Amino acid sequence: MKVQRLTILGATGSIGVSTLDVVARHPDRFDVVALTGHRRIDILAEQCRRFKPRYAVVGSHDDAARLAAMLAGVGTEVLAGPGALCRVACLPEVDAVMAAIVGAAGLPPTLAAAQAGKRVLLANKEALVMAGSVFMNAVKQAGATLLPIDSEHNAVFQSLPAGFAGDYARHGVHRILLTASGGPFRRTALADLEKVTPEQACAHPNWSMGRKISVDSATMMNKGLEVIEARWLFDADPGQIDVVIHPQSVIHSLVQYVDGSVIAELGNPDMRTPIAHALAYPERIDAGVAPLDLFAVAQLNFERPDLERFPCLALAYRALRAGGNAPAVLNAANEVAVEAFLDGRLPFQRIAAVIAATLDAVPVAPADDLAAVLAADAAARVAAQGALP
Ligand code: NAD
Ligand code: MG
């Protein structure tokens, strides 16, 4: 077995920590070459002492100096800034890159890894939402391997036939069904949503995640971003992707075939399963996840999403159908609105309105290169700031 050499972008976050948990279970299989973290220098220092990477990357030069002092004698070279993120994403000695930075900041290094032909383990859905066509072209041109970490897309990947390359007719694939938990507010009275606090929005019933994706789950923008992510990963038409609310989060997604078969992937809601799947693919390794106990689950329920309760889901379909730069605009507006909500500057119920106003304000244009994507992102951030109270 060849040892796989890894860069983990966003090592200090929820996905990064789960990735290192799986890696630590298989010291013979994986070698950590680079770890990155933006602010939690203490956590990154601890990770560096344990995994002894060749490089660590932080956001600022001040933090780099602090981290280097904490790591005296460890043998890790400390770098800083966005350029260093791209550098460790395409080191010649690295085989696979876990893309687990949250938000648009993750796009440049994730794209760099694809352009360098790496095996890209994609958690950073925002990168694909913003730059779908640019990213997929880079993967194709460089011969990179793209493996989805998002639990729904990992489930779809596992439920599609081997060798599926977007040829729906040949493989008899009818449609993709993405499951959604419905988040913490699935049953909350609409009037009560006005007063929702960041703490309530971040308390997800089934999954433990970073704050931004937790708010996205509460608005269901997360599912909207995932519909766009599925469009690119599986070369699907918007009409071939449906969303099903499944509150138990045991079925992680499904694929319907023309003969009536439906194939799904099930498991406990623990991100170490898709992470281990992608890390070892096409082999299987222990992820540290408890076996699914169907008797304890007892029931699997399904509901149609309510677009009045979850207008963000409709906005994502709108951006997907508009095409071009619209998904990048949607994503940037959402990042601005979620940050404002988390800072107490925007009521939960106004998040969708800020995004809708931004989609109205920024004209749809082609987004066939990184410069066009970043220009749309920047214009949307200005428009979204202007739409805040
Ligand atoms: P998190 O907030 O816990 O961690 C984010 C990581 O990104 C941290 O390491 C942080 O230091 C780093 N980071 C933040 N801003 C940065 C910047 N400007 N520059 C460089 N690094 C920066 O987030 P998470 O929950 O681990 O999610 C990471 C990504 O994975 C997101 O795109 C999310 O949508 C996706 N994802 C997460 C889960 C989950 O269960 N947590 C599931 C599916 C997909
Ligand atoms: Mg998901």
Ligand nearest to the CA of 214: 1
Q: Is 12 annotated as a binding residue?
A: yes
Helices and strands: H and E segment counts in the chain: 17, 11
Q: How far is CA 124 from CA 32, 101, 193, 333, 383, in A?
A: 19, 6, 28, 17, 24
Q: Which of 298, 303, 273 is nearest to 287 (CA)?
A: 273
Ligand 1 atom having least distance to the Cα of 103: 32
Centre of ligand 2 from the C-alpha of residue 214, in Å: 10
ipTM of the complex: 0.99
Strand partners, 9: 99
* pLDDT the model gives residue 111: 98
**Domain ranges in the chain?**
4-148, 323-388
Domains 4-148 and 323-388 fall in the same CATH topology:
no
- Give the separation between CA 343 and CA 198, rounded to whole angstroms: 8
Average pLDDT over residues 187-192: 93
In tens, the pLDDT along 96-152 reads 999 999 999 999 999 999 999 999 999 999 999 999 999 999 999 999 999 999 999
Pocket of ligand 1 (CB under 6 A): 10-16, 37-39, 59, 100-102, 105, 123-126, 150, 207, 209-210, 212-213, 271
Under 8 Å between Cβ of 132 and 124: no
Q: In terms of CATH architecture, what is 323-388?
A: Orthogonal Bundle (1.10)
- What CATH number is given for 4-148 in this structure? 3.40.50.720
pTM over 0.80: yes
Structure tokens at 212: 């931004």
Reduced to 3 states (helix: H, G, I; strand: E, B; else coil), residue 356 is: helix
What pLDDT was estimated at residue 98? 99
